Amino acid sequence: MINKKHAKAVKVEDCELVRRLVSRVAHNPQSGCWHWIGYKDSKGYGQLRWGNRMHWVHRLSYAAFVGPIGDKLQIDHTCCNPSCLNPKHLEAVTPAENRKRQSKRAHYERGDDDVPI
Ligand SMILES: [Zn+2]
């Protein structure tokens, strides 16, 4: 189980952490996605053990390459690829905004009406 409180406490400026993140990535030149090739949970989100705890790699990547994640914000994959950790494909959003986007994408994937993403 991932503890968000501890994920925030990770010192992302740590070079060893960045090295471990980028060493387990497969780049997709078409999509630009950085696919995590390490451990993934049942939903396809990459995880990395760091400091005796598991962390979501997309949150670590955002914090390392973009900046601190605001309180209570979630990281949305704008590319809809849960295993991606390309910081250019990650956006910090409120839980409400994240749910709204996920709902729109689910409608789109099911082929319901033409719901804009
Ligand atoms: Zn991506």
* 66 alpha carbon – ligand 1 mean position (Å): 15
> Is 22 exposed, middle or buried, given 0-12, 13-18 or 19+ CB atoms closer than 10 A?
middle
For the structural domain made of 4-92, what CATH number should be given? Answer: 3.90.75
HSE-CB of 31 using CA atoms within 13 angstroms: 16
Tens of each residue's pLDDT in the chain, 117 residues: 454 554 454 555 568 888 899 999 999 999 999 999 999 999 999 999 988 899 999 999 998 889 899 999 999 999 999 999 999 999 999 999 999 998 888 776 666 555 444
User: What is the reported pLDDT for 1?
Assistant: 47
Residue 26 CB: number of other CB atoms within 10 A? 10
Question: Which tokens sit at 2?
Answer: 């991932």
User: What is the reported pLDDT for 6?
Assistant: 47
Who surrounds ion ligand 1 at CB < 5 A? 33, 79, 81, 84, 86, 89
> Is 15 exposed, middle or buried, given 0-12, 13-18 or 19+ CB atoms closer than 10 A?
exposed
